[in-house]
Chains A and B, each alone.
Chain A
Amino acid sequence: MPDTLYLVAASLAMFAVTFALRALPFAALRPLRDSALVAYLSRHMPAGVMVILVVYTLRGVSLGETPHGLPEALAIAATVILHLARRNAVVSILGGTAVYALLVNLVFA
Chain B
Amino acid sequence: MFPLGAAFGLLVVQSGLDWWWALVLSVLVYAGSMEFLAVGLLVAITPLPQLALTTFLVNFRHVFYALSFPLQRVRGRAGKTYSMYALTDEAYALTATRPGATLSSARILWLQGFCQGYWVAGSVAGALLGSWLAMDLLGLTFTLTALFVVLAMDAVRVERDLPTPVLAFICAVLALVMAPGELLLTGMGLFVATLVVRFLMRKKGDDAHA
Which A residues form the contact surface with B (CB < 8 A)?
Answer: 1-2, 6-7, 9-19, 21-23, 25-26, 29, 32-33, 36-59, 72, 75-76, 79-80, 83-84, 89-90, 92-94, 96-97, 100-101, 103-105
Residues of A within 8 A of B71 (CB): 26
SS of B interface (majority): helix
- Least CB distance from B86 to A in Å reads 8
Residues 27-51 of B, flagged 1 when their CB comes within 8 A of A and 0 if not, give 0111101100110011101101001
SS of A interface (majority): helix
B98 within 8 A of A: no
Residues of B within 8 A of A18 (CB): 29-31, 34, 55, 59, 62
Q: Is the CB of A29 within 8 A of B66?
A: yes
The A-contacting residues of B in range 126-164, CB under 8 angstroms, are 137-156, 159, 161, 164
B114 within 8 A of A: no
Q: Is the CB of B195 within 8 A of A50?
A: no
- Least CB distance from B111 to A in Å reads 16
Q: Is the CB of A89 within 8 A of B150?
A: yes
Which single member of B45, B168, B196 contacts A49 (CB below 8 Å)?
B168
The A-contacting residues of B in range 1-48, CB under 8 angstroms, are 3-4, 7, 16-17, 21, 24-25, 28-31, 33-34, 37-38, 41-43, 45-46, 48
Q: Is the CB of A52 within 8 A of B188?
A: yes
Residues of B within 8 A of A36 (CB): 199, 203
Q: Is the CB of B168 within 8 A of A51?
A: yes
The interface size bin for chain B is 35 or more
> When chains A and B are docked, how far (Å) is the Cα of A94 from the Cα of B98?
30
B84 within 8 A of A: yes
Residues of A within 8 A of B175 (CB): 52
> When chains A and B are docked, how far (Å) is the Cα of A93 from the Cα of B94?
21
Which single member of B4, B81, B183 contacts A56 (CB below 8 Å)?
B183
Which single member of A1, A41, A57 contacts B16 (CB below 8 Å)?
A1
A-B contact pairs, 28 of them (CB 8 A): A1-B16, A9-B48, A10-B41, A11-B29, A14-B29, A14-B52, A18-B59, A22-B87, A25-B63, A26-B84, A33-B67, A41-B60, A41-B192, A47-B152, A48-B164, A48-B165, A48-B191, A51-B165, A52-B168, A52-B172, A53-B33, A56-B172, A72-B142, A79-B149, A83-B149, A89-B151, A94-B7, A97-B142
